[in-house]
């Protein structure tokens, strides 16, 4: 079919509908190009970029805050470990001193018992009796 035959075969209704469709399509594209695209480039995209930048800055600030808190916790744990080590050494020294004092007390009790035994105070029997006190 040639162009002339197609033009002759097209009815005025089909032509009007086609013209309306094409003019709507061109008007829609023109609207998008003149109104919507500038709004995207001037308003929407910069606002989104600013929002993303703000989000990144907030995330970086919260990350720095978390790192600071974790650093403080780490420092506190290190200090606690040092203090716990010092406490352990003090407790061990105290235990050694307590054992030494206990050994001294035991030895002193043993010496006292030996001395009393030599003096005859501690005996297996009832001890010395006074014959004149009956």
Q: Please report whether residue 81 resides in a domain.
A: yes
Q: Say if residue 127's pLDDT is above 60.
A: no
User: Which token pair is 90?
Assistant: 């003090």
The Cα 110–Cα 131 span in angstroms is 31
Q: Give the per-residue pLDDT at 19.
A: 85
Q: Give the per-residue pLDDT at 124.
A: 55
Q: Please report whether residue 107 resides in a domain.
A: yes
Q: Please report whether residue 126 resides in a domain.
A: no
Q: Give the per-residue pLDDT at 97.
A: 93
User: For residue 96, what are the domain limits?
Assistant: 16-120
Q: Please report whether residue 131 resides in a domain.
A: no
40: number of Cβ within 10 Å: 13
Q: Please report whether residue 10 resides in a domain.
A: no
SS3 labels along the chain: CCHHHHHHHCCHHHHHHHHHHHHHHHHHHHHHHHHHHHHHHHHHHHHHHHHHHHHHHHHHHHHHHHHHHHHHHHHHHHHHHHHHHHHHHHHHHHHHHHHHHHHHHHHHHHHHHHHHHHHCCCCCCCCCCCHHHC
For the chain, what is the domain count?
1
What is the pTM (predicted TM-score) of this model? 0.46
Nearest to 30 by CA among 38, 41, 19: 38
Q: Please report whether residue 7 resides in a domain.
A: no
The Cα 125–Cα 117 span in angstroms is 12
Q: Please report whether residue 110 resides in a domain.
A: yes
For 13-46, what is each residue's pLDDT tens digit?
887 888 889 999 999 999 989 988 888 888 889 9
Q: Give the per-residue pLDDT at 134.
A: 44
Q: Please report whether residue 2 resides in a domain.
A: no
């Amino acid at each position: 079919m040639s162009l002339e035959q197609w033009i002759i075969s097209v009815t005025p209704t089909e032509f009007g509908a086609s013209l309306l469709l094409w003019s709507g399509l061109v008007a829609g594209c023109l609207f998008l190009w003149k109104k919507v695209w500038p709004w995207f480039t001037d308003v929407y995209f910069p606002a989104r970029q600013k929002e993303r930048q703000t989000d990144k800055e907030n995330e970086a600030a919260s990350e720095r805050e978390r790192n600071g808190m974790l650093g403080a916790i780490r420092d506190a744990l290190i200090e606690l470990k040092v203090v716990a080590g010092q406490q352990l050494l003090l407790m061990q020294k105290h235990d050694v001193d307590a054992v030494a004092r206990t050994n001294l007390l035991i030895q002193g009790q043993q010496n006292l018992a030996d001395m009393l035994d030599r003096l005859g105070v501690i005996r297996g029997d009832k001890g010395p009796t006074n014959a004149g006190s009956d």
